[in-house]
Each structure stands twice: as structure tokens, then as C-alpha cells.
A and B are shown apart, each in its own frame.
Chain A
Amino acid sequence: MSSIFEVKNLKFKYKNNQENVLKGINFDIKEGEIFGFLGPSGAGKSTTQKVIIKILEDYQGQILYKQKDLKDYKQDFFEDIGVSFEMPIHFSKMTAIENINFFQNLYKKKADVEKLMKRVGLWEDKDKMVAEYSKGMKIRLNIVRALLNSPTMLFLDEPTNGLDPSNAKILKDLIREFKNSGGTVFITSHIMSDIDQLCDRVAFIVNGEIKEIDTPRNLKIRYGQRQVKVEYRDNNKLIEKSFSMENLGNNNEFMEILKAKDIETIHSGETTLEDIFIKVTGVTLDDEQ
């Protein structure tokens, strides 16, 4: 897969800050993948997104989009991308369809709005004022707004934040469908499960620095522990024991327990991405930077 974005030694400082918010980060986003930025609040996730979608422009380093310097792109860049910000952003005194039509007519390429709104379950409520929408509906409308120009690349900032599980599932399915149709996705999130379930590759970002980039699977293999946890009764006492999956069939103690003891539960377990994040970065996802 070729890279759609290449970010080299990216540094960024807000005007009133003394220190760089981004401290020379390097990463690339491959065409057709879902690439995630996982980090606690204030780590630099949203700033990175704002830089690579050309909202913040006074950066140092180099960003290439489709092998061309991002600084050489004008407004045509926005024909190619779709952006969903963390906060739902709409004109509240206009209906949902008025909002969508207004924004869509600013683009040359146009997606099928009816299909999109039906997909996120908003078509029935398209003529309601956005002010009457619940937070979940506004977030779903945000995604429709991001997709209305059939973008090549989608940027999602904390896409499921504030959504209930069923709405979060609709959104995740939509993101997967976008990827399966050939789209590329950049997600920033502090919600580990989003990244774990959706992303092909993930970058751990803490304090403006990328600490690790790989696929969730490789990270788990590299940093995680694959274990089997057994609970059994011995003289009416509940005992729990963990065994490494390495050469498990040759582990005499484990085999003995299986043969001789009254097993209550037996589970295989992998280290979660969140555990690995803590192990690699030394901070938790709930920390404020």
C-alpha cells in the first residue's frame, strides 16, 4: 500500500505557548487503511489533525499528501477530504436536511444524502430543526456532513465520544464500510475500544511525541502476555491460576489441573491495548497532559 499522507518531523507551537505541542512527530497513513491516534486529552491528537487538514498552517516539518507538499494545496484539498469534529457543529435553527444541502452545494462531488441519512437513521427526522436533535443525532449528522462530498479521506476526531453503544455501533459500521469502499480514515481518540476495533494501525501519542506505531495485533504480540486463566475447586476452596500459552500442552501443572481438578472456568486472555498503552507510555488514557 502506498502512503496517502507522509508526516516528517512535524513540530507545532500555539502562539501563546512556550513549548511545542507537537515535538517532531513522524508517521505515514497508507491508502485504504484506518489509522488511529490514541492518547490522553492534551497529548496533541487534535492538533495533529488540525495541522494535516490545513486548519493550522504555521507548522515546521514536512507533510506530503499524495506525494505533494500539503502547503502547495489550495482549497481543492477540501474537495478530497471529509472532517468530523468532536463537537457536533450545525446551524441549530435550520433543519438537518437544510444544513446538509447547504454544505453539500459547496462541493463539486456529491454523495447520495438520502442513502447516508437513512444509513445513520436520520432520514425520518431530516426536516426537524437541529436544535431539536439529541446529542447522538447531532453526532450522526456530523458524520453525514463529513461524507457528503464522497471524500477520499475521512478525518474523525473522537467519533464515538458521547454516543450510546447502539449509536456507536452504527458509526463504527459506517467507518468500516467507508474503508471497504476504498476510503482512508484518520481517527483520533482516547477511547481504546474504538481504536482496537477499527484501526489497522495505531500510533500512541503522549505529550506531543509518538511513542509507538504498529498494528493493534503486533502491539499485543510484542508487549502483551498471552495467558490462560483457570479457576478450580480444591477442598471446597476456589483457586485461580494463570499459565502462559507458550508450550501450554507441555505444562505439567496445567495438564494435571485439567485432569484432576474440578474446573469452574477456563479463559484465554490477551493484554488489552490500554494495558499496552500504559506499559509503553507510562501514562493512562484518562490522564490530562
Chain B
Amino acid sequence: MMNNRLIYLIKGELIRLHKYKVTSVSFLIALIWLIVLYFVDGNIFNDLLPLLILVDSTMMSLMYIGSVMFFEKKESTMSSMLVTPARNSELILAKILSNTIHNLLSTALIIIVFVIVKNVEVNYILIFLAIVFSTLYHTTIGLLLSYYQKDFTTMLMTVMMISFLLLIPAVLFSINVLKSDIWEYILLINPIQAANEIISQSFKPINLDWKYYFSFLYLVISGLFIYKFLVLKQFKNYAISISGV
């Protein structure tokens, strides 16, 4: 069970996402995607929708958490948080979970609209789990990246680099540009490909294969490892370095 302070911190983070216009930007982007996809037909639509959800729960998660961290860095508010009874783990989890909730809402909007207007068939439980775990993982990575970036511009550059190295191969594989079987195995260590597997297999017809289970476990286990041994461990040093006190 989540403790009350964690719930309170998540609520605070969600309010700040709204106040700092991050929510508005994410819903605006969702709206743009809705309009673009609305005019796409047939097979292209069926390929594009999972890809779009993949981009939203991976790259966009990195961007949103990056922007939150840089707002805090700019205002040095982290130092005030460090001298409250809130634990470091609560401060980090509040950021990760609020970003996940926020991302889940904008992605859910896209899915619900297309379920209604284009009769998209999706397993709601599987897509919910897929979005939540993909976003949790990539938000955690985004937090870790933000520790090492000087400003938002360098964060953007890093996200572009990750897109180039991880997202593009996953996308090329999913649209059959990378056809060789070897890619199927090489890309399994790519977290974006893992997210791609669990998202794309959530659309009907449902036929979960070993790659689904592997990808799911890969995201959960490596995500927990990154959280515990990198993000949580280095948080205090990062918070002190940006606190400006």
C-alpha cells in the first residue's frame, strides 16, 4: 500500500505538471496525433497507432521528466524538499509515478478515441500494463539522464541520440525494414524494443509469445535495478548539486 505522503507528493507533482504547462503540451501533442491518425487509413493506421503509443510512452516520457527536472533545477526547489520529512525514495517515486499517470492519461485519450471512431481492438488490461511499465521504465531512465545533463538543450540532444540508437532500430524492425532473424534477438536487449513488444502484442488478435514475457520481465527487472542502484543511490548528490544552497 502506498503511504499517504507518497500519494500527497504524487498529487503535488501532478498539480505542478499542470501549472508548468507540461500537461497542456502533452495533451496538445496527443491532439495532433489524433488529427494525423484520423486521416490515415487501413494497414498504415494499424502500424502507426502502436508506434505512436510506443513513442509516447518512451521518448516523450524522457522528455517530460527531463522538463520537470529542469524546472526544479532552475528554481532550486529540490533543496527545500531535502529538508522536509519526505524520504528520497518518496520524492523520486512521486516523480516517476506522476509522470506515468500523466502519460497514461494522454495515451489513453488516443486509444479511447480510436476505439470509438475506428473500432480499434485492444486488450485494455494488456495495453494498460504495457503503457504503465514502458513509461515507468523510461521515466526512470529520464531521471537518471537528467542527473548528468547541464541544461534542457543537452537533455534534448541526449534524447535525440537515444532515439537514433534505440528507437529507430525498433521502429525499422517493426515495419519490416530490418528483416533478418538476428535482429529479433539483438533488439531484445533494447528497452524500446521491449516496450514495442508489449505494446504491439496488446492489440487484438492477442497471441502472447515468449518475447512478450521476456520483454515484460526485462523492463521490470532492469527498471528496478536502475531505480535502486542508480537513480536512488545518486539522487542526494544530484539534489545537492542542483540545489544552489
Q: Residues on A close to B: CB < 8 A?
A: 46, 50, 53, 55-57, 75-76, 78-79, 81, 83, 85-87, 89-94, 102-103, 105-108, 145, 157
Contact = CB atoms under 8 A, between A and B. Distances in A.
B79 A85 contact: yes
Given A90-B80, A91-B75, A102-B12, 7 more contacts: A83-B83, A85-B79, A85-B245, A87-B76, A87-B244, A90-B75, A91-B77
A196 B82 CA distance: 30
Nearest to A95: B19
B205 interface: no
Interface in B227-245: 236, 240, 243-245
A78 B81 CA distance: 10
Given A90-B75, A106-B5, A55 B83 contact: yes
Contacts of A75: 85-87
A55 B12 contact: no
B16 interface: yes
B83 A81 contact: yes
A65 B77 CA distance: 26
6 contacts: A75-B87, A86-B245, A89-B79, A93-B19, A105-B8, A145-B80
Q: Which 7 A-B pairs have the closest CB atoms?
A: A85-B245, A83-B83, A106-B84, A75-B85, A93-B19, A78-B85, A89-B80
Contact of B85 (A56, A76, A91, A157): A76
A56 B244 CA distance: 13
B20 interface: yes
A102 B12 CA distance: 7
If over half of B's interface residues share one DSSP class (helix, strand or loop), that class is named, otherwise mixed; here it is helix
Contacts of A86: 245
Interface centre among A76, A90, A105 (most CB of B within 10 A): A105
Contact size range, B: 20 to 34
B76 A107 contact: no
B77 A90 contact: yes
Interface in B1-55: 5, 8-9, 12, 15-16, 19-20
Contact of A106 (B75, B86, B243, B244): B86
Nearest to A77: B85
Contacts of B15: 94
Main SS class of interface, A: loop
Contacts of B245: 46, 50, 55, 85-87, 89, 157
A103 B84 contact: yes
B8 A91 contact: no
Interface of B: 5, 8-9, 12, 15-16, 19-20, 75-77, 79-80, 82-87, 236, 240, 243-245
Most buried by A among B15, B76, B79, B84: B84
Given A75-B86, A105-B8, A91 B244 contact: no
A5 to B, nearest CB: 16
A89 B77 contact: yes
Contacts of A92: 75
A80 B245 CA distance: 20
A46 to B, nearest CB: 7
B16, B83, B84: which has the most chain A beta carbons within 10 Å?
B83
Contacts of B20: 93
Contacts of A87: 76, 244-245
B240 A56 contact: yes
Contacts of A93: 16, 19-20
A93 B18 CA distance: 10
Contacts of A85: 76, 79-80, 245
Contact of B83 (A76, A78, A91): A78
Contacts of B9: 106
B95 to A, nearest CB: 14
Contacts of B16: 91, 93-94
A73 B12 CA distance: 26
Contacts of A76: 85
Contacts of B83: 53, 55, 78, 81, 83
Contacts of B84: 78, 103, 106-107
B147 to A, nearest CB: 15
Nearest to A57: B236
Contacts of B8: 105-106
